A and B are shown apart, each in its own frame.
Chain A
Amino acid sequence: MSARPILLIVDDEERILNALSRSLRREGYTILTAQTAERVRELLEQHPVDVVLTDHKMPTTSGLEILSLASQLRPDAARLLISGWPEQVPPDRLADLGVRELLPKPWDDGELKRVLRSAVED
C-alpha cells in the first residue's frame, strides 16, 4: 500500500473535479478523477483506492451506482457522496451501501478536508 492515501473523485463536470483537486492539493492524497462509470471501473481495478468521493446526479449514472461498483471492487474503500440535493437521496440506499458521509454541494472546504481525513484514518 502506498504511503499516500489514494482518493478517487467522480463527477461528470470537469470543473468540479478541478476545484475539488485544488481544495485537496496540500492534503497529501494521490488524487484520481473520473467522469464516467467506465473510467471509475478501470481506476478501481488498477489502483488500491482508499476513498471514493462521488457526485450523485450524473447524466449516464448515479452516485449510488458508482458506490455500489466501489463496494464490489474495493469493499474496504470509504464511500462518500456529494450532492446539491442531499435530502433527495434515499436514506435507506445510503445505509445499504454503507455510505460514510453525505456532503452538500457547494461544499465547505474545511468540512470536506475534515471528513476525508477521518475517512482515511479509520
Chain B
Amino acid sequence: MSSLPPVVRIAVIAPPGGFAARPSIDALRRLGGEVEIDVVRDSDACLVLGGRTALDLVVALRVPPPALASLRKGLGPDGPPLVVVTAPDDDAEALAAFRAGACDCVSAGADQAEALSVVALEQIRRHRQQRERAWLAKRIGELQRYNENIIQNLNSAVIVVDPDGTVSYANPAAGAILGGPADAAVELEGRSVWDWFPGQRAHDTRIGRTLDHGLRCQSAETQITRLDGTRVPIGISCAPLLGDDGAQQGAVATFQDLSEIGQLREQVLQSEKMASIGQLAAGVAHEINNPTGFIHANLYQMTEYIVDLQSVWSRVRDLSKAVEARDWQAASAASRALTATSEEVDVEFLLSDLGKAVRESQEGSERIRHIVQDLRDFARQDTGERTAADLNQCVDSTASIAWTMMKHSVVLSKEYGEIPDLSCFPMQLKQVVMNLLVNAYQAIEQKYGDDSGQVGHIVVRTQAIDDGVALEIEDDGIGIREEHRSRIFDPFFTTKQVGAGTGLGLSTSYNIVRRHGGTMTVDSQAGEGATFCVWLPCEPPEQSP
C-alpha cells in the first residue's frame, strides 16, 4: 500500500526576465508517467502552490540565494526537494544555491535538459521514498497506539507470557484482577505466572497446557490465588503466541473476573430453588398440617385423660389414708368408690390409650421435624467448596420433600445402587433432582389431570458407571414432543402454563451438571413418558462452581 498519488507534481519558478522556462519544462515532461507542472513567477507563489498540493519537486530557474533560502525554509525540512538551474558553469552560484538549501544544481546550457531529467528523477525518487517511510512510520505509530489503546482499555484482562511462564505484558485489567485492589497493585511484568497458581503443577494449568502443547482453550473456568491469598474465580481463554516462523514464543491469555457472575449464578440458583419450594408449599403444608391436627387433638384429649386419672388418684389416696388409719369401714367405702370411679372413667382404656396417644403424637412430631429438616437441607446454599457427598442421600432427602407434593397421584420407586461418593456441590445437585422430579410429576399431572384417580409412576435409579455415578429419573407422564426435544435445555423455554414453571429448571439443571463435568440427556416418546439421564464424574475436571 502506498500513501502517494500516482501523479508527480512539479513547480517551476521562472522569474520574469530570467531563463526561458520552456527547455526545463520540456525536459521534465519527458520524465515519463503522469507529470503535472505548474510554472510560477516567484518563490512566494511557489509556497502558495505548495500549501495547496503536495509537491514532489521544485525547480528554481536562477532564483537568487536569499530567495532560495526563504523558499527552503518555507517548504519546510520535509518539503519537496529544491533543484536550481544556475548560469552555465557558474560554480559560485551553484555553491551559493547549495548553501541556500538546494538539493542539487544543474547548469544551464547544452546538457541542461538531460542533466535536469536525471537530477529531477533522482530527487523525486528520494523524496517519495522519504515521504513513504515517514508515512509508514506514522501509520505504524498510529496502529501501535490504536492497539495499545484497545488492549489497555479492554475490560478483559490480557497477559502475555514467555515460554518459561514469565509475564512479559499485562494490561491494566489484568493488573486489577491479579493484583487486587489498586492500592495493593503489584508489578506483573517479569513475575512468574505460576505465582498465581500456588499448589498446582504448571503443566496442569490452562496456560501451562498452552505453553507445553500449544493447546488452545476457550472460556474455561478456573481460580487464581492473588499474592495476598484471596481467591478469584476467572474465565480464561488461552492461545499460543506464534512468531512469523510459526515457532511458539509463549502464550496469550485473556480472562475475566467471574466473582460477580458467580454471585449472580448463585442468586439464580437460589431463586430457582425458592421457586420450586413455592411449588412444593401446598404439599409440604398438607404434610405438616395432618400431624399438627392429630397432635393438637391428642394433647387436648390427654389433658382430659389426666383430669380423669386425677379423680382416680384421689380415690386411691382416700383408700390409702383409711388403710393407714386402720379404719376398715372407711377403707371398704373408699375401695368401692375407687372401683366406681375407675369404671366410670374406664381407667384401663385410659392407661392404654394414653400411651398410644403419646406414641402417635411423638411419631407425628417426628414427621414434622423430618419435613422441616429436609426442607431446610434443600433450601440451604452450598459453602462454595466442593465436598464429598453421597448422591443416594441427596436424592433421598430431595425425593421425600417432592413426595409431599405428588403422593396423591404418583407411585415413586427408588432403585439405589452401590455408588461412590462424588466431589460436588450437593445443594446444587439436590436442585437438579428436585427439578427433574417436579417435571416428572407435572408430566404425569398433565397426562391424567387432577382428579381421575389415575396414578402415575416415577422411578429414580442410581448406579456406578465409568468413574462416576448415573442418575435416571423415569416417568410415564405426557412425554416430550419431538419438536420440543432440542429446546428443553434452553433458558426460558417452557410448555407449562403460566405460573407452573419458570422455564429455567432444565437449563439451570443442565448448567449445574455441566459445571460438575457431567452430562445430561433425555429419552422420550410423546404421550409415553420421559427418562432423564444424568452422569456425574467422581472427580470433576479443574473447574469452579
Give residues in A with beta carbon < 8 Å to B: 13, 15-16, 18-20, 22-23, 25, 57-62, 84-85, 105-107, 109
16 inter-chain pairs at a CB distance below 8 angstroms, sorted by A residue, are A13-B294, A15-B294, A15-B364, A16-B293, A19-B298, A19-B360, A22-B297, A22-B357, A57-B408, A59-B407, A60-B453, A62-B451, A84-B286, A85-B286, A105-B290, A106-B296
Counting contact residues on chain B (CB < 8 A from A), the size range is 20 to 34
User: A57-B408, A59-B407 known; A13 and B290 CB under 8 Å?
Assistant: yes
Chain A nearest CB from B293 CB (Å) reads 4
Chain A residues with Cβ under 8 A from B289's Cβ?
A: 84, 105-106
CA distance A13 to B298 in the complex (A): 14
Chain A nearest CB from B56 CB (Å) reads 95
In the complex, whether B142 has a CB less than 8 A from a CB of chain A is no
Give residues in B with beta carbon < 8 Å to A: 282, 285-286, 289-294, 296-298, 300-301, 353, 356-357, 360, 363-364, 407-409, 451, 453, 455
User: A19-B297, A60-B453 known; A84 and B290 CB under 8 Å?
Assistant: yes
CA distance A20 to B296 in the complex (A): 11
Docked-complex contact B407 and A16, CB < 8 angstroms: no
Docked-complex contact B293 and A105, CB < 8 angstroms: yes
Contact of B356 among A18, A61, A105, A109 (CB under 8 A): A18
Chain B residues with Cβ under 8 A from A59's Cβ?
A: 407-409
CA distance A23 to B353 in the complex (A): 12
CA distance A109 to B293 in the complex (A): 11
Chain B residues with Cβ under 8 A from A84's Cβ?
A: 285-286, 289-290, 293
Chain B residues with Cβ under 8 A from A57's Cβ?
A: 286, 408
CA distance A20 to B289 in the complex (A): 15
- List the 5 shortest-distance A-B pairs measured between CB atoms, nearest first: A19-B294, A19-B297, A106-B293, A84-B289, A106-B296
Most buried by A among B285, B300, B363: B300
Chain B nearest CB from A10 CB (Å) reads 14
Chain A nearest CB from B13 CB (Å) reads 105
Chain B nearest CB from A96 CB (Å) reads 16
B294 to chain A: closest residue by CB: A19
Chain A nearest CB from B359 CB (Å) reads 10
A20 to chain B: closest residue by CB: B297
Having A22-B298, A107-B296, A109-B301, one finds 17 other A-B pairs with CB under 8 Å, namely A13-B290, A15-B294, A15-B360, A19-B301, A20-B297, A22-B297, A22-B353, A23-B301, A25-B301, A59-B409, A60-B408, A84-B289, A105-B290, A106-B289, A106-B292, A106-B293, A106-B296
Docked-complex contact B294 and A109, CB < 8 angstroms: no
A105 to chain B: closest residue by CB: B293
Chain B residues with Cβ under 8 A from A15's Cβ?
A: 290-291, 294, 360, 363-364
Most buried by B among A16, A19, A25, A106: A19
B290 to chain A: closest residue by CB: A13
CA distance A84 to B282 in the complex (A): 10
Chain B residues with Cβ under 8 A from A60's Cβ?
A: 408, 453, 455
CA distance A85 to B298 in the complex (A): 21
Chain A nearest CB from B513 CB (Å) reads 33
Chain A residues with Cβ under 8 A from B364's Cβ?
A: 15
Chain B residues with Cβ under 8 A from A13's Cβ?
A: 290, 294
